[in-house]
Amino acid sequence: MPLQNRVLATGEIVAHPARGLFMGNRGILHDDRRRLGAARWRHKAWIICVLVHKDWHRTVMSPGNYTELFFLDEAVALAAGHRPCKLCRRDAYLAYTEAAGHRGSAPELDTVLHAERAIPRRFEQRRHTADLAYLPDGAVILADGTPNLVLGDRLLPIGPDRYGPAVKRPDQGTVPLLTPPTSVAALRGGYAPRLHPSSSF
């Protein structure tokens, strides 16, 4: 039976067997039976990690260790409020911060992102709005209640394990935006998130 450790673009953490391209961390969210409690974060450093780093090996959701979270791809992880890890993805972290125009420390970046992505004491994702015509590739919006990836002249519905068939991107219109403003700025500045192969079909 799959563990509840798959993060959707909406910020929800669900049980799903697919593991995706990246892993993440928000602190210890599970108990000694590998079940999530009410909390959806324990600190502000929400990171996007590689699945394999050096020769490190972990048992997923070990007691007393951080809860391993998984994402379809990097665009989904960014939409959920995460940013590249400074340890295992240093080059990506530096590219992200440069593209976003961030000159401070990683904790300062996390404080900014946390204010953009989370509603305090409610463990809910903060939503934004934007004009669809000006969103960069890699941003994630809600269209008819479904997360969609913005990619060129297309919108791609995001499923737990792959992207759905593309639809034409409207020329304009105000839409609910899941990706936090700092990550949108990074995408606009040239940061290219790694996407799931199904995004090209």
Query: What are the pLDDT digits (tens) for 35-71?
Result: 999 999 999 999 999 998 667 677 889 999 999 999 9
For residue 152, pLDDT over 80 is answered with yes
Neighbour-count burial for 123-155, b at 16+ CB within 10 Å, e otherwise: eebbeeebebeebbebbbbbbeeebbbbbeebb
DSSP string, 70-123: EESSHHHHHHTT-EE-TTTTHHHHHHHHHHHT--S-HHHHHHHHHHHHEETTTT
pLDDT digits (tens, 9 = 90+) for 154-177: 999 999 999 999 999 998 899 999
Q: What is the value of pTM for the model shown?
A: 0.95
Residues 170-197, mean pLDDT to the nearest whole number: 96
Q: For residues 158 and 72, is the Cβ–Cβ distance under 8 A?
A: yes
* Distance of alpha carbon 20 from alpha carbon 105, whole angstroms: 29
Name beta bridge partners: 129.
176
- In the prediction, which pLDDT does 98 show? 98
Cβ distance 136 to 181 under 8 Å? no
Q: E strand or H helix at 14, and its extent? A: strand 13-15
